[in-house]
Amino acid sequence: MATKAPFAFLLVGLALFEPVSLAWAKKDKVEVTLTAPAAGALYHAPAAITLSAIARAKQKSHPIVKVQFFQGRKLIGTVRSPRAHNQYTFNWANVAAGSYLVMAKATNDKGDTDLSEPVSITVNALPNVAITAPANNAVLAAPATFTVTANASDGDGSIAKVEFYNRATLIGTATSAPYSVTLSDAAAGVLNLRATAIDNRGASSTSAPVTVIVNSLPSVSLTSPTSNASFKAPANIPLMVQVADTDGSIARVEFFHGTTLITALSAPPYSFGWTEVPQGTYALTARVTDNLGGSVTSSLVNVTVNAAEAKLYYIHTDHLDTPREIYNQAQQLVWRRQHQEPFSDSPPDENPSGLGVFEFPLRESIYYGDKETGMQYAMFRDCYDPATGRFCESDPIGLRGGIKPYLYVGANPLSWTDPFGLKAVQCRKPLDSMGGTGTRSGPDIWGNPAYHQYSCVIDANGQITCGGQDRTGSALGSPGKPSKDTYDPQRCEPTYDNKCFDDCLKNEWKKPRPKYGIPFGTDCQEYDDDVNSRCRKKCGLK
């Protein structure tokens, strides 16, 4: 028994030595050291960190096959060949803020490994910064004094300071919240503001730029009317301003009386004729706005419009009611219009006696003459062009007014008028029983009584209403009744175009018809002539 004990101890000792010796043998065969980053190194997120390790194989017959880099237990990269002699490098990109423990592990072709000592590093979060005032593209009036304010924060530390820049020029530094600086008397121009926040670890961030426009305001003065000017109602007051803008252009000029807008003008000349101003006292101002939105209001101008002073003028018209001459109460000629041609293309003489200009806009058919364009406003049509003797706009009732919808009064301006650009018409047609192609049965000559006569009114909507006299029985005597007529432009001629006249005709046609009879009674011709005559008289027409 005593001889077997040393042997047993030997066996136990061998058994214990084997794993230890194997481990020792492996360790000795590979060696790795993390050379970068240095312990305690500081980076700013998102960080790009270069990990570098020196790995050696103790036995040349068993070279290093890979070096692995770990962050804690997490493998972050594997490098299989050295960049330089035994130096293995790995670029760890976009490393977020935080503290990390990194190490390297080398492995040879037999699977022997070695683990480096861990190295602790820190990745610092960048501060956040944004300018909160003024707003981007804010427009301020020069000289501008304003405060630039920024919000700044740091997720893993604190803000040490915030620096404010206009382009590359430092304009101020703030070290405590709220982070702001005041800019005084900034001249006209465009400012490009940025804020840079620096945290307690020295990391910095720059805000998005904010553009501020310092605008030189325009100038404005009301040159007309003059202060304390007086007018007579209904007054025509010319409004004029003098405006200027040194760093841009004028976008709009508005005229006010009190707070009430009179008119807004967007193009020069910034003048306006304020017409038909009733009696009263008015505080006039003009407000000018430049292209950057800067606006200035002129100083106040007070004007007085006194009570109207009625003046009597005598208007002499021709057979078509077209004004020809106007005389004042002293029987002095103040306005005259003598035609050299029939379509009203001759301008009026507004100062025939040297008494001053007298403006009177009514023209042919009582159209409104526009001196500037030479055109005439024709109620239901935009214009009548006296140069060509035609309307500029087609007849609103279309071809029902005839096949020449631009024609003015059938090209007969010496006999007819068309005040509304429409017409009331008087029509003649052949007797049904005898027929005919013209306006009468038989020859279309004066004295031939064989025709039916009626009138039609064409309103602005193109609706045509016709009215006339018919009978229920014998031509020598029977009750009258409305005739059933239709508008035929070939058989109708314009009479008057006057709303009063048109309405009067329609009203007359609603009334019961008189007794029909030849010669004792009212036939269609007599009825139509009577109705037209009554309406002319009622409406003061010739």
Partner 1 sequence: MRAQVMGTIVQIAAARTGKLLVALWILALVILVAVPVTGLFQGEFLGSLAFSVLPVTILLNISIVLAHYVENGSVRIAKAAWLGVAVAALLITLYAFDGRPNSDIGIFLAWFTLVLAFPISLLVALLFTGVAIAAEKLFSAVIPESYLLLLVNWVCFIAAGYWQWFVLLPWLWRKWKTLPLQN
Q: Which residues bind partner 1 (CB under 8 A)?
A: 430-438, 440-443, 448-450, 452, 470-479, 515, 517-521, 523
How far apart are alpha carbons 69 and 63 in whole angstroms?
18
Whether residue 323 has a cis bond before it, omega within 30° of 0: no
The answer to whether the beta carbons of residues 286 and 219 sit under 8 Å apart is: no
Least distance to partner 1 from the beta carbon of 419, Å? 35
Least spacing, CB of residue 476 vs partner 1, in Å: 4
CA 76 vs. chain centroid, Å, equals 58
421/517 with CB nearer partner 1: 517
Q: How far is the CB of 471 from partner 1 (least distance, A)?
A: 5
Residue appearing with tokens 């009554």: 534
Tokens at residue 306, please?
A: 């006194």
DSSP 304-317: EEEPP-----EEEE
**11 near 4, Cβ under 8 Å?**
no
Nearer to partner 1, 37 or 480 (CB): 480
* CB of 116 or CB of 453, closer to partner 1: 453
Nearby residues of 48 by Cβ (< 8 Å), 6 or more positions away: 91, 92, 93, 94, 95
Q: How far is the CB of 510 from partner 1 (least distance, A)?
A: 21
Closest CB 441 distance from partner 1, rounded Å: 3
Q: Which is nearer to partner 1, 489 or 521 (CB)?
A: 521
Nearer to partner 1, 354 or 435 (CB): 435
Provide the minimum distance between the beta carbon of 430 and partner 1 in the complex, in angstroms, as a whole number: 6
Closer by beta carbon to partner 1, 261 or else 475: 475
Concatenating the DSSP letter of every residue in 136-180 gives: TTEEEESSEEEEEEEEEE-TTS-EEEEEEEETTEEEEEE-SSSEE
CB of 490 to partner 1, least distance (A): 15
**By the 8 A CB rule, do 369 and 376 touch?**
yes
Q: Please say whether the beta carbons of 346 and 337 come within 8 A.
A: yes
Task: Output the six-digit token pair for 242.
Answer: 């003098």
Q: Which two tokens stand for residue 221?
A: 């003065």
**Minimum distance of partner 1 from residue 527's CB (angstroms):** 13
Query: Cα–Cα distance between 470 and 514 in angstroms, integer?
Result: 10
Task: Indicate the residue among 271 and 478 with the shorter CB distance to partner 1.
Answer: 478
Name which of 316 and 515 has its Cβ closer to partner 1. Answer: 515
Give CA–CA dist 420/141, Å, rounded: 54
CA distance 125 to 81: 33
